Chain A
Amino acid sequence: MSTYGRIVGAFAASHAPGITGWPERAASDARAAVEQAFTEVRHRIEELEPDAVIAVSVEHFTNFHLGNLPAFAIATGDSYLGPSTPEMARFVNVEQHSYPGAAALGSHLYSFALGAEFDPALVEGGLEFDENFCVPLKHLDPGSKYPLVPVIVNGVNPPWPTPKRCYDFGRMIRGAVENQTEVKRVVVLATGGLSHWVGLPESGHINEEFDRDFMSRLESGDPERLTDYTGEEIDRAGNGAHEIRTWLVAAGAAGVGFDVLAYAPVPVWLTGTAVAAARL
């Protein structure tokens, strides 16, 4: 008898380019806290022995543009290039290489999403990574051994999908994993956020109050609290804070609260930087 797939772990982490691009410029205690949390998550993922990782992030106009900007997209390729250009590779200090794709799980997720009345864009191939996945995966999967299903959420250009829609998209992901028998053990990894301003005069500011409040909601796991944001409320933590939508997807997929393993406001990395693990 076939066993159904299940989400065995869910994690969330910032993907600030400075984490890998210029780690030495952060305060030593902040850098150590963040890197230790990444190491902790890497070990946890190794122990979970996932067959695939559903990786949820925004993308920063690396693939999509304002002639075609999906609210959600699911990639079904068997490999992904990252970082997308040599310049981006130098920027984030990640060697350009190919990441493996979990194509069959991606196709199932896309099909299941449509059946569940979500309407993501299909990206059958050609998706390239920027810091969204390259930065956290340098710490979490340095050998790029886990097959990925990249899921992209628009967090870079308003209007954005609502927080509730993002949380529900995560619930849908859990349903998709549990309604197939090919891929048994799946980890969900969300990357993005927290407060930061990208390309704006406020860049380098951190809204620590927003960050700590968001993490409190994440720890609670309460869907009502997690999704009780307006776009304007998120805006107060910067245009980059809209990336918390990816964490909401992971929260929906996990269905439980998270432990925050590290949080540090790091102005030189331009973000409130955190790493969290679902209590699964």
Chain B
Amino acid sequence: MYSIHRLLWDIRRHPDVAARYRSSPDEVLDAYGITGEFRTWMKDLDFKSMYEHGVNPYLMFFCAIQLEVDRAAYQAQIRGEKS
């Protein structure tokens, strides 16, 4: 769990991590050792699944802001209204 929390935080706080994540997500996910379902959810920005598995919603929400995910899109996603 710490690895995913750390990645969400680093994307939020470090523009270079956010840029690398946008261009080469697998490379970044490898670097953070994120595997399995969390890797899939993070690649898909599946915030609903991550929340349901214990990820801090603040970290997800502010990471989404940094990735410039539209707020309405985030809300639809976390509510399960959008796949």
By a beta-carbon cutoff of 8 Å, the part of chain A in contact with chain B is 60-62, 65-67, 84-85, 87-88, 91, 130, 156-157, 198-201, 203-204, 239
B65 touches A66 (CB 8 A): no
The digit string for B47-82, where 1 denotes a CB below 8 A from any CB of A, is: 110010000111111101110100000110011100
By a beta-carbon cutoff of 8 Å, the part of chain B in contact with chain A is 2, 5-6, 9, 12-13, 15, 47-48, 51, 56-62, 64-66, 68, 74-75, 78-80
A201 touches B79 (CB 8 A): yes
Partner of B58 from A60, A88, A201 at Cβ < 8 Å? A60
Rounded to whole Å, the gap between the CB of A100 and the closest CB of chain B is 23
B58 touches A87 (CB 8 A): no
Q: Inside 8 A of A61's CB, which chain B residues have their CB?
A: 9, 12, 56, 58-59, 62
| Extra A-B contacts (9), CB below 8 Å, given A61-B12, A61-B58 | A65-B9, A67-B6, A85-B13, A87-B65, A87-B68, A157-B56, A199-B47, A201-B78, A204-B75
Q: Inside 8 A of B62's CB, which chain A residues have their CB?
A: 60-62, 130, 199
B6 touches A65 (CB 8 A): yes
| Interface SS majority for chain A | loop
- With both beta carbons as reference points, the residue of chain A lying nearest to B64 in the complex is identified as A199
B6 touches A199 (CB 8 A): no
Given A199-B47, A199-B78: A62 touches B13 (CB 8 Å cut-off): yes
| A204 to B60 Cα, complex, angstroms | 17
Rounded to whole Å, the gap between the CB of B11 and the closest CB of chain A is 11
Q: Inside 8 A of A204's CB, which chain B residues have their CB?
A: 75
Q: Inside 8 A of A201's CB, which chain B residues have their CB?
A: 48, 78-80
- Report 22 cross-chain contacts, Cβ distance below 8 Å, ordered by A residue: A61-B58, A62-B12, A62-B62, A66-B9, A67-B6, A85-B13, A85-B66, A87-B65, A87-B66, A130-B62, A157-B56, A198-B58, A198-B61, A199-B51, A199-B57, A199-B64, A199-B74, A199-B78, A201-B78, A203-B78, A239-B57, A239-B58
| A177 to B5 Cα, complex, angstroms | 37
Rounded to whole Å, the gap between the CB of A18 and the closest CB of chain B is 10
Q: Inside 8 A of B80's CB, which chain A residues have their CB?
A: 201
Rounded to whole Å, the gap between the CB of B35 and the closest CB of chain A is 19
Closest 9 A/B residue pairs (Cβ): A199-B61, A199-B57, A65-B9, A201-B79, A66-B5, A156-B58, A200-B57, A199-B60, A201-B78
Q: Inside 8 A of A62's CB, which chain B residues have their CB?
A: 12-13, 62
